[in-house]
Amino acid sequence: MNPPIRMVLVEPSHPGNVGAAARAMKNMGLTELVLVRPKEFPSPEATVRASGAIDLLERARVVDSIAVAIEGCGFVLGTSARPRSANWTVLDPREAARRAIDEAAIRPVAVLFGGERNGLSNEDLAACHALLNVPSDSAYESLNLAQAVQIVAWELRMAAGAELRRLAPEAPVATPEQVANLHAHLASVLAQIGFTDQRNIANLGFRLERLLARAVPDEKEVQILRGLLTAVQRTIARDAGG
């Protein structure tokens, strides 16, 4: 198994976990590791813990932001151990793996894992289409980073081996950049027509952003929506000149 699924560790603080995560990935046939602002890398401890997966560490990319880490991906999953205030779509590892394998047949997929201390913040999760939550005992819900990677990697391998495929969609999922451009276009049109949510104006942009993420639009749907927004702008300009 070598699907185009990118495992992204965001601000890992313990190099041993980076090495153990690389070993877990290689065990399950995953090869693309990206580190976002690691505290220490490369590291002798990471190399020791990687054991036979040193080649994954050598190929690992170190980047400065999540945006760079997920560049070129379609579907993006964010792991989270705690509930969120927004209306997130939450998948267990099995559901998430099946969805990821299906999406990876169209465009690369990214799975984000947060740092050992605080996990992923809401800001980190802004580009994610859904959350992945590993069910655990309520008395102790905190998973070690490398253990979380191992669980997700195993589920991905099982999903790939079972060849669970839905019918391919008409178009690939829109990239985070395409969705961000749609959001900016929508915000611009709302400003032009003077629309604001007076009851909750501070959260309007965030709620629209989450709505678009939950919808998981494909490229054609984004094009249709942007075409509609452009038509609205033309009508506004015509009426203003009228």
| pLDDT score at 200 | 61
pTM of the complete model: 0.75
Tell which wins on pLDDT, 165 or 143: 143
Q: What is the DSSP string of 81-100?
A: SS--SS---EE-HHHHHHHH
| pLDDT score at 239 | 86
Mean pLDDT of all residues in the chain?
A: 89
pLDDT band at 225 (very low <50, low <70, confident <90, very high): very high
Domain with CATH 1.10.8 in the chain: 176-241
Cα-flanking dihedrals φ and ψ of residue 107, to 5°?
A: -155, 150
| pLDDT score at 76 | 97
pLDDT band at 231 (very low <50, low <70, confident <90, very high): very high
Predicted confidence (pLDDT) per residue in 178-191, tens digit: 999 999 999 899 88
CA separation for the pair 113, 3 (Å, rounded): 18
Question: Helices 176-192 and 219-241, interaxial angle, to 10°?
Answer: 20
Q: How many CA atoms lie within 13 A of 77 on its CB side?
A: 31
pLDDT band at 164 (very low <50, low <70, confident <90, very high): very low
Predicted confidence (pLDDT) per residue in 25-82, tens digit: 999 999 999 999 999 999 999 999 999 999 999 999 999 999 999 999 999 999 987 6
Q: What is the mean pLDDT of residues 115-132?
A: 90
The CATH architecture assigned to 5-161 reads: 3-Layer(aba) Sandwich (3.40)
Domain with CATH 3.40.1280.10 in the chain: 5-161
pLDDT band at 143 (very low <50, low <70, confident <90, very high): confident
Q: Which CATH number fits domain 176-241: 1.10.8, 3.40.50, 1.10.260, 1.10.10?
A: 1.10.8
Q: What is the mean pLDDT of residues 157-162?
A: 86
Q: Of 149, 60, 157, which Cα lies nearest the Cα of 112?
A: 149
Question: How many of the other CB atoms lie within 10 Å of CB of 139?
Answer: 5
pLDDT band at 165 (very low <50, low <70, confident <90, very high): very low
